[in-house]
Amino acid sequence: MSDVKYHYNSKTFQYERASFSVKDALWYATGVLFTALILCGTAIVIHDSFVETDNERALSLENNLLKSHKPVLEEQLDAIDQELLKLKSADKNLYTRIFNAKPPEATAMSPTISREQALLADPSEFRTLLEVLNSKSELLTVKSSMSNAAFGSTIHITKEQVDLIRSIPSIQPLANPQMDLLVSGFGERINPFHKGNYEHPGVDFAAARGTEVYVTASGRVRNINRTALQAGYGNYIDVDHGHGFVTRYAHLEDIKIQRGQKVEKGTVIGTVGNSGGSIAPHLHYEVIRDGEAVDPARYLMEGLTSEQHNALLKLSSKQNQSLD
Amino acid sequence: MGKVRYRYNPKTCKYEPWYLRGKALQDQIAIFVGLSIVVAGVLYYVFIHNFDSLNEQLLRSENLTLKTKWQILEDRIHHAFSELNVLVEKDDKNYRVILDTEPLSPEIREGGAGGSEKFAVDEVKNFPTLLYDYTILEKLKSKLDVEVQSYKQLDNILNERIHMWASRPAIQPINNKQLDQLHMSYGSRMHPIHKYVRDHKGLDFTASEGTPVYSTGDGKVTTVHYSETYGKVIYIDHGHGYETRYAHLSKFDVQPGAMVKRGHVIGFVGSTGTSVSSHLHYEVLFNNNHVNPINFFQRDLSNKEYERLIEIGSTKSKALD
């Protein structure tokens, strides 16, 4: 008996051989696939709930650890944060007690004065000198473009002008790369010993004992004073730069030059100390011009950008206690 | 299948309707199920080997959440560490310099750190993150402890210093705004009564009788007595090697042994002892040696005032005692 199947076609009144169409095949495949998916899904669910893979084991172990240790660490951290807060207030307290002023805010360094204004702060020399130099340099350009030979004979800055420039104490008396050593400025400040106001005739740079002190302009050592007395300037050096400029470096530990010696700008003349009436190792630096103490910070410009100089001026203008 | 299927029966020479039933049906079902199982098997194999299990996916997402939170925790640790480092830096570079104290040695700073073994429990040991965090936290803690101690030490040093600064004889012993009352400077002077040159070891302030005399620094009154030369005199021991003396007073205002603060009224100007007119004779001693008192308030004076003082002092006039 053959397995061939027929359909009855009612239009032609004939039996026609039944064929397995594409549509039928698709239906069949879909059925198979659907059943397979159900089977597969069931198998996976069964597998998941009975078999634990290594990955899962590791993950759940890690998760449990993380979960259980988080509060432990958090608790410890909270305690640490508390301690840190206390320490920070201790830090503020310490600063306040040393300087009798609020500690500076972290963002206090915003330039408020322009370079020009800073120059104008002491205009007499700098401006005229700059003008002279500018006009000369213009002339120089013109002349040199005309004739190289004309150079030496017609353009020169007088020796006196060079001397004047050289006598201005324009560098910082110690290395101050972070611009943070100037701790007390010129003018009325709190005296650290009797806590009353007094005129602080210079600026204080706080630095460790033994820090090198540079002479801020070329000149001649006018006076050297050594004393064991815990009052006054202690060991100090006066350097005469001519043109009415004298600088004083006080509370030194070591003095490395002789009286009358000629010194070039930047020479190491001594080291920072705590001699005399000083509450901390520091350099008390004065600029005395024609017998009057003037604010040294105004002159400390050489090698500084205007931002740095402004930062210095800002530090210098802070109302606090000096280190005397 | 709507259509009825037929089969040709050669015996009857007829087309007979045919239905799927019996063994044929069983065969059909077996084929269908077999195919399905094979396909399911293939799918299962592919899935198991290429995709994480559902559980694993769930665990993984939980893990991700936990790790994110853990990251926040780690950030807090690092933040705390950097804050502490700022304080350590201030301690070493600012306060210890200012207070003229040696910075803490690295051994002390690192001392007590190394507690990582403490957490070498097996469960933690296998997780580098956890172990690292515990180690770093332990380091942070011990560093913090050292720093807390260090700040306490700084505080003590500062207290000591403040006490020292407060006891330094830093002001003038009488109210002397105009400086006119500072009659005499330091050095050898002709004695006004005995008329011979001798070492004059203090400063004389002329002032009318009864002007209050102040202690120039914190200290303890050691002597309140009458002497032939000094007259009514007060000695104050300021500690740290300093002593001050106030002579020729008309009246005392303290008892021996009293603790005085700078600026306390201790007596009144007079002309007792070997004195020719009402004035205060003021001495400062450091380690039992006389020093010039002017050094201690020199910086309260402007340069001009100071120069004038030196001028007054250098003209050799008679002392008042």
Contacts of B33 in chain A (CB under 8 A): 35
Report the alpha-carbon distance of residue A210 to residue A274 in Å, rounded: 10
pLDDT for B269 equals 92
Contacts of B123 in chain A (CB under 8 A): 61, 65
Distance from CA of A212 to the nearest CA of B (A): 15
- Tell me if A5 and B18 make a contact (CB, 8 A cut-off): yes
pLDDT for A155 equals 53
Contacts of A207 in chain B (CB under 8 A): 97
Find, in chain B, the residue whose alpha carbon is nearest to that of A232. B295
- Out of A32, A62, A97, the one facing B35 most closely (by C-beta) is A32
What confidence tens digit (pLDDT) does each residue in A225-272 have? Answer: 888 777 788 899 999 998 889 999 999 999 999 988 999 888 899 999
What confidence tens digit (pLDDT) does each residue in A203-228 have? Answer: 999 888 888 999 998 899 998 888 87
Angle, nearest 10°, between helix axes B54-89 and A54-99? 20
Query: A319 pLDDT band (50/70/90 cuts)?
Result: confident
- Residue A91 reports pLDDT greater than 80: yes
Interface ipTM: 0.70
- Tell me if A206 and B94 make a contact (CB, 8 A cut-off): yes
Q: Which residues contact B46 (CB under 8 A, 6 or more apart)?
A: none
Identify residue B220 by its one-letter amino acid code: K
Contacts of A208 in chain B (CB under 8 A): 97
- Residue A90 reports pLDDT greater than 70: yes
Distance from CA of A71 to the nearest CA of B (A): 10
Distance from CA of B303 to the nearest CA of A (A): 8
Alpha helices in chain B (DSSP H): 23-50, 54-89, 96-98, 106-110, 122-125, 128-167, 294-297, 303-314
- Out of B4, B35, B302, the one facing A199 most closely (by C-beta) is B302
Distance from CA of B279 to the nearest CA of A (A): 24
Query: How many whole angstroms from its chain centre is CA A170?
Result: 23
What confidence tens digit (pLDDT) does each residue in A286-302 have? Answer: 999 888 888 888 888 88
- Count of CB pairs separated by less than 8 Å, A with B: 224
> B88 or A20: whose pLDDT is higher?
B88
Spatial contact of A9 and B13, defined as CB atoms under 8 Å apart: no
- Out of A15, A87, A280, the one facing B87 most closely (by C-beta) is A87
- Residue A305 reports pLDDT greater than 70: yes
Query: A16 pLDDT band (50/70/90 cuts)?
Result: confident
- Tell me if B66 and A35 make a contact (CB, 8 A cut-off): no
HSE value, Cβ hemisphere, 13 Å, CA-based, for B160 = 10
Find, in chain A, the residue whose alpha carbon is nearest to that of B20. A5
Contacts of B59 in chain A (CB under 8 A): 56, 59-60, 63
Max Cα separation, chain A? Answer: 141
Contacts of A292 in chain B (CB under 8 A): 303
pLDDT for A128 equals 67
Distance from CA of B311 to the nearest CA of A (A): 16
Average pLDDT over every residue of A22-41: 90
Contacts of A45 in chain B (CB under 8 A): 54
Report the alpha-carbon distance of residue B157 to residue B134 in Å, rounded: 34
- Go through B211-246 and write b for each residue having 16 or more CB atoms within 10 A of its CB, e for each that does not: bbbbbbbbbebeebeeeeebbbbbbbbbebebbbbb
- Residue A151 reports pLDDT greater than 50: no
Contacts of A60 in chain B (CB under 8 A): 59
Find, in chain B, the residue whose alpha carbon is nearest to that of A211. B97
- Residue spans of chain B under pLDDT 70: 1-3, 111-123, 176-200, 298-321
Quick one: which of B124, B7, B229 has its CA closest to A17? B7
Residue with tokens 């009975």: A50
Tokens of B182: 């500072």
Contacts of A83 in chain B (CB under 8 A): 144, 148
Q: Which residues contact A126 (CB under 8 A, 6 or more apart)?
A: A119
Report the alpha-carbon distance of residue A251 to residue A230 in Å, rounded: 10
Which of B4, B15, B23, B39 would you mutate first to test chain A, the one with the most A CBs within 10 A?
B39
Distance from CA of B105 to the nearest CA of A (A): 16
pLDDT for B10 equals 82
Which of B53, B69, B288, B308 would you mutate first to test chain A, the one with the most A CBs within 10 A?
B53
pLDDT for B128 equals 81
pLDDT for A185 equals 87
> A317 or B237: whose pLDDT is higher?
B237
Query: A111 pLDDT band (50/70/90 cuts)?
Result: very low
What confidence tens digit (pLDDT) does each residue in A159-204 have? Answer: 777 778 778 888 889 888 878 888 888 888 887 877 777 888 889 9
* pTM tops 0.80: no
- Residue A22 reports pLDDT greater than 50: yes
Contacts of B84 in chain A (CB under 8 A): 84, 87
The CA dihedral of A185, A173, A308, A315, to the nearest 10 degrees, is: -20
Distance from CA of B193 to the nearest CA of A (A): 32
Distance from CA of B232 to the nearest CA of A (A): 26
- Out of A7, A48, A67, the one facing B3 most closely (by C-beta) is A7
